[in-house]
Structure 1
Amino acid sequence: MRRRVNPEGSVYKRCTCKDANGKTLGSKCPKLRRAGGGWHPTHGSWAMQIELPVRTKTERRPFRRSGFDGRDAATALLDHIRALLNLAGDDPHLAIQISDLIWGTGRREALPDVGTVTARIRAGVSASVPTTTAQYLTDWIGNRRGLSPNTMRSYSDHIRLYLIPHLGDIPIQNLKDRHITDMFTDLDERNAAIIAAKASPDPAVRATVKGVRPIGPASMQRLLATLRKALNDCVRKAKLVPTNPALSIELPSGKPPTPKVWTTKAVARWQQTGQRPSPVMVWTPPQAGAFLDYAERHDIMLYPLFLLILHRGLRRGEAVGLRDFDVDLDDAVLTVAEQITAVGYVPIVKDVKSDAGERVMPLGASTITVLRDYLARRDRLQQVSGDDWPDTGLFFVRPDGNAWHPQRVSQRFDDLVEASGLPPVRLHDLRHCAATYLRAGGADIKEVQETLGHATQALTSDTYTSVLLEFQRAYADTVGDLIPRNTKAA
């Protein structure tokens, strides 16, 4: 007959002594007790046992652990189990969940923390099944409210592309800083593989990473920020973990790379290796002029938009979202107040990035000439279309009168750059060109800041103070010329 286990639990001693038949005596060894009935102080080791809640009357779950050096250790484990079971109160279903949790704990595993199980119960999740990081992140992003479309897209992409593939299978309660560090190490190794493939002399190898970009330091920082935010909420709101393991992670600075100029040597090296000196590159004025000439010959509708970005430093969304009444060619001024961006591939109309982003800027004579020619061409297209011409209210439109999609504009720009044979820059890099040319022409940081719509001069100074090599050379001998010398000719 099986021995019943005390449902309240008990602490006792057992040993490994054997009877005449070689059977272990366990708790029945007569040496475990002294003559007075008390436990022998040195013989045997301490153990505990308790009967766990079950689903049916015929089921039994006698939970036993042994091998404790002292009574206090065995009693502490018993008290821990009692505390876990008490969390169920009068709820039989919750009692079974906690019983499953305790029963499923391996002999070498520690029991779950009472506070962690309490947090799971309050959060309305199963007490017995650990929440994976993938499950938590999916629930977290699904319950987020009040975020901008761009922020929601960024969070979702980080979770889908990086966090779940690298961390998703780990129970959120077991997530440690080492797991997060391993993820960023894997991403660094992936970056190195992409860079090596792009530099390969084998065209087939280069083709495997065409259009694939390494994850830059700034993107790494944003990925870490998403994880920190999600885990902060896990600590404060869901209360599934006591601390945020992402807080101790340190990454290289996400400061944007310094723009560099496509010098003759840089172009020659790019032609040989396909490598750029920096992710952010600036054309020299002759290179920019060559691009505008090429764009004017091959895409007359987008050529004025590219020229305006290059002359006045507009963002892509600001140029695409420019409205007719924002452009006053008679008074030679341009108002930037609205932009069209893309979330996924869905165009979104919204205000410019900051209060400083809404700005009025003057237009030069050469810019006005190109924009007037564009308006005349647009008017002719509208007359041909008649009633089919859509009333978008936008300044720059496609040949059929519809709005440009921001990503289509970027794609067309990339195609034109590649076809022109010029060294590559991004469409956004035309802003760097504009800032560089302004500085080369004598504009101070404040003027550049106001033109580009930055909130602070510090942002402008940190990002756009790279100047043309020729401009730098103009001041190369300034200090030397100021220092008098008495050196005599030999």
Structure 2
Amino acid sequence: MPASRRAGGISKRCECRGTDGKRLGAACPQLSKRSHGKHRVSQELPEDADGHRRRFQRTGYTDAKDATRDLDRIRAILDLPGDDEDGQRRVGDLLAELQTTRGPIPEPTEVSRKLGVGVPLDGKTTVGDWLDHVMTNKATRTTTNRGYGSHIRVHLKPAIGHLRLDRLGVGHVEDMFAAIDDRNDVIRAENQARHEQVARCTRGKPGAPKTAERAQLAAERATLAEMPPFRRITGPATKQAIRRTLRMALNKAIAGQLITFNAAQHVELAAAARPKGLLWTDERVERWRETGVKPGPVMVWTPAQLGAFLDEAEGDRLYAFFHLIAHHGLRRGEGVGQGWDDFSAARKEIRVSAEIVVDGWTPIETAPKTDGSVGIVKVDAETVRVLLEHREQQHAERDAWNAQAAAEREQGNATADWADTGKMFTTEAGAWLHPDVVSKTFRRIADGAGLPPINLRDLRHGAAALVKAGGGDIHDAKVKLRHGTIQLTSDTYMELFEEYEDELTEKAAATVPRARRGDVEAPAE
């Protein structure tokens, strides 16, 4: 109900009392005097959540103009929600709270702003409330939102979610990251202790009698079972991402004029170094076989190692998938989402325009990771041949599936025909291929080939290495991988390119024939 149709107004009262000790109220003969008594504002409010009627009343106004100003503000605030019952109840709650606290009546524009963004109108919005509101209205891609949501759920809300949004300071955010560092120290110590205990649980301790060895082994394993599991620390890159999430949310609060200061903007963190790609040289492979430790988080196969993998994969129905991403650097989701309509054998190119990613466990189709990722990728003649052969294989699978489905239906079984999704890589039934399927298939083939470990995404890094092996430079790698900036490519691959430079230099020197080279003794060390 509009404020104009609600009961309310301004009246005047005094504190004078009669001979019986009771207030005279409106019967006071002095009320007609301008300077006598106080003005009172009275206004009916929307019903509360339980349907109870309520009224705003405030007295003590010396000047009628002040009372009129507040009444006008109250009625303007009541008019803001229009016919929105939830909004009416919220402004009613706000005004009822102000009557209790005797807080100042806010400007209607301030209430309108808060009403529009859906936050509490009493100025007590917490950081957690605001983060929830931001995520409810976030329009970014699903996988990005999952990252934001993880930062909020695991780190931000437990540490600072209870604080009032307008009182969040730099110190609060610094304390949060200090607590993360303390937790990392505990995790490192626990992980190290577990590593040492795992080593004690190894069988075959020399010199120990069988019975004693079994008893000792059982005791060590019992101790291991009581220890905390291995956990990942929150590294510099993740801390930077947590700060970005908070900074984004606080910037939105500033844009909504809820706060004026972004505390996350002024917190200093250690820079997160981008992982460097390293080549699986013979020396590194030998060291890995001895210790079981990878030299770095991003490892890249040599062309010979990649060839061994593709030879092993050639009999698998997903061979064409691995060939494509290994040579041309598509991301896993881009490869799974690649459609036949975006492939031209005549022009030897594919157009990357969609990808299939997972939301939790559910595959969803979305636009590629960045605007720069959408574009044309030139492919070589051998890749064209592999893709055409794969299409013939897919057609054969379709025909076999449909024949079997028809036979099943004749026997009364409800079996659907092959699903024509238009994707290059599908299940045997034609449906979307789950991204995790290709990851598991990749690991199985790589293990079968006896190769040093890399992740499926490292095939994309390997495509950059092939650019260098083929005589290209860092700019050619940027184009191949569709990076937004040359700096991103350089930060990730310069060290890898320098390793290839050493290898190419040695190969170039070795091409010069020397008649006496075999007779020359190696210099003494």
TM-score bracket for this pair, using the shorter chain length? 0.5 to 0.7
Deviations 1:330-354 (A, max 9, x none): 6544333333233333433344433
CA 1:194 to 1:230, structure 2 compared with 1: closer, same or farther past 3 Å? same
Counterpart-to-counterpart distance in 2, 1:95 and 1:409? 59
Counterpart-to-counterpart distance in 2, 1:167 and 1:434? 43
Cα pair 1:100 1:128 within 8 Å, conserved: no
Counterpart-to-counterpart distance in 2, 1:295 and 1:208? 39
Counterpart of 2:197 in structure 1 is 202
Cα pair 1:314 1:452 within 8 Å, conserved: yes
Describe the SS at the equivalent of 1:467.
Answer: helix
Trace 1:232-243 onto structure 2 (pairs within 5 A). 232-237=251-256, 239=258, 241-243=259-261
CA 1:98 to 1:267, structure 2 compared with 1: closer, same or farther past 3 Å? farther
Decide which of 231, 236, 248 is 2:266's aligned counterpart. 248
Counterpart of 1:37 in structure 2 is none
Cα pair 2:141 2:366 within 8 Å, conserved: no
The gaps in structure 2 that reach 5 residues or longer are 1-13, 15-65, 76-91, 199-223, 406-416, 509-522
Counterpart-to-counterpart distance in 2, 1:271 and 1:194? 27
Deviations 1:96-118 (A, max 9, x none): 6347658xxxxxxxxx99999x9
What letter is aligned with 1:447? D
Counterpart of 1:149 in structure 2 is 142
TM value normalised by structure 1: 0.66
What letter is aligned with 1:131? T
Cα pair 1:357 1:455 within 8 Å, conserved: no
Cα pair 1:359 1:450 within 8 Å, conserved: no
Q: Does 1:179 align with 2:172?
A: yes
Trace 1:448-463 onto structure 2 (pairs within 5 A). 448-463=477-492
State the Cα distance separating 1:383 from its structure 2 match. 1.9
Decide which moves more: 426-435 or 271-280.
271-280
State the Cα distance separating 1:205 from its structure 2 match. 8.3
Trace 1:207-222 onto structure 2 (pairs within 5 A). 213-222=232-241
Counterpart of 2:303 in structure 1 is 285
Cα pair 1:357 1:452 within 8 Å, conserved: no
Counterpart of 2:438 in structure 1 is 409
Decide which of 335, 360, 365 is 1:344's aligned counterpart. 360
Higher helix share: 2
Decide which of 128, 132, 136 is 1:134's aligned counterpart. 128
The gaps in structure 1 that reach 5 residues or longer are 1-7, 9-81, 103-111, 479-488
Counterpart of 1:42 in structure 2 is none
The CA RMSD measured in Å over matched residues stands at 4.5
Decide which of 300, 313, 317 is 1:295's aligned counterpart. 313
What letter is aligned with 1:345? W
TM value normalised by structure 2: 0.62
State the Cα distance separating 1:202 from its structure 2 match. 3.3
Counterpart of 1:384 in structure 2 is 400
Describe the SS at the equivalent of 2:497.
Answer: coil
Counterpart of 2:163 in structure 1 is 170
What letter is aligned with 1:310? A
Deviations 1:5-57 (A, max 9, x none): xxx9xxxxxxxxxxxxxxxxxxxxxxxxxxxxxxxxxxxxxxxxxxxxxxxxx
Counterpart of 1:485 in structure 2 is none
Q: Does 1:97 align with 2:97?
A: yes
CA 1:316 to 1:469, structure 2 compared with 1: closer, same or farther past 3 Å? same
Number of aligned residue pairs = 393
Identity %: 34
CA 1:325 to 1:173, structure 2 compared with 1: closer, same or farther past 3 Å? closer
Counterpart-to-counterpart distance in 1, 2:355 and 2:137? 28
Describe the SS at the equivalent of 2:357.
Answer: strand
What letter is aligned with 1:202? Q
State the Cα distance separating 1:201 from its structure 2 match. 3.5
CA 1:235 to 1:331, structure 2 compared with 1: closer, same or farther past 3 Å? closer
State the Cα distance separating 1:275 from its structure 2 match. 3.7
Cα pair 1:347 1:405 within 8 Å, conserved: yes
Cα pair 2:328 2:377 within 8 Å, conserved: no
Describe the SS at the equivalent of 1:383.
Answer: helix
Cα pair 1:410 1:427 within 8 Å, conserved: yes
Counterpart-to-counterpart distance in 2, 1:438 and 1:175? 49
Counterpart-to-counterpart distance in 2, 1:351 and 1:148? 8
State the Cα distance separating 1:246 from its structure 2 match. 1.1
Counterpart-to-counterpart distance in 1, 2:228 and 2:301? 28
Describe the SS at the equivalent of 2:401.
Answer: helix
